[in-house]
Amino acid sequence: MSLKKDVKDDKQARLVLNQIGTKVIQRPNPVTGLTGDQIPADTLQFDDINNIRSGITAQESNVEVLALLNVLTEFSGMSPSGIAPIRGTMQTKTLSLTDGAVSYMDFGPGVWHVTDIVVIYAGGSGTITFRAYAYDPIDGNPALEIKYGSTTSSALYNYNNDSQFDHFQNQFWGETHNNGSRQLGLKPSGTFDAGSMTAYVLAHRVR
């Protein structure tokens, strides 16, 4: 039996379509400028799926509506769990760093999860400290320090080098709430060649 007929014959699946049936499946292309707080109200969002899914139990009578939600998340480019990577979105982003200053990375459209951060530099000597911050320019609160570490390496620091990064990996970046754009801040302090310090951030979209 086709999914179309299953959904048509299933009351819950019809209710879902009635609720979100006027929304477009995919976000607009970023070149249109319709990103961030300009995303049209009729675009299917992760919260739409999550609000529906949270009230559905895993039983035989709900097979059709669960299948429908799976199709919607697949074609909208969202992870069904909201946590797992969305296929094809893994990226290594770069951020230039300056001694004693916080440099921020704006992840752009979507919600992102960071799995690793490596900083490569030249001429390091003594102890160099590295901090990471979470900052949302919308809510206006001060940046929150979420990671601190240090190294005596003359060339490299990996943020994923201690248990603090476990907490870091529970963070989400980018469009984490309406109109928000949660940014990642990195701050090195020490002696090194400031002209060649770059952070490589491995991240993937989850929504």
pLDDT tens digits along 81-106: 555 667 788 889 999 998 899 999 98
The region, left, alpha or beta by phi > 0 then psi within -120 to 50, assigned to residue 137 is alpha
Out of 7-16, 42-51, 157-166, 182-191, give the one with best mean pLDDT. Answer: 182-191
User: How would you list the strands of the sheet with 183-191, edge to edge?
Assistant: 103-105, 183-191, 125-135, 144-151
**Strand, helix or coil for residue 58:** coil
Task: Tell me: pLDDT of 1 over 60.
Answer: no
Q: Looking at 10-19, 33-42, 44-53, 138-147, which range is the least confident one? A: 33-42
* 87 secondary structure, DSSP code: T
Q: Are 197 and 206 in contact (CB under 8 A)?
A: no
Q: What is the predicted pLDDT for the residue at 44? A: 65
Task: Please compute the mean of the pLDDT values over residues 13-41 and round it to a whole number.
Answer: 59
Extended strands (E) in the chain: 91-96, 103-105, 111-120, 125-135, 144-151, 156-158, 173-174, 183-191, 198-205
Concatenating the DSSP letter of every residue in 25-44 gives SSPPPGGGT--GGGS-TTB-
Q: Are 91 and 203 in contact (CB under 8 A)?
A: yes
pLDDT-based confidence at residue 141 (cuts at 50, 70, 90): confident
Q: How many CB atoms lie within 10 A of CB 11?
A: 10
Percent of the chain with pLDDT over 90: 18
Percent helix, strand, coil in the chain, to 5, is: 25, 30, 45
Q: What is the predicted pLDDT for the residue at 112? A: 86
Residue bearing the bigger pLDDT, 130 or 59: 130
Instruction: Specify burial of residue 206 (Cβ count, 10 A radius: 0-12, 13-18, 19+).
Output: buried
The pLDDT mean for the chain works out to 75
Question: Tokens 């921020």 label which residue?
Answer: 104
Q: How many CB atoms lie within 10 A of CB 135?
A: 16
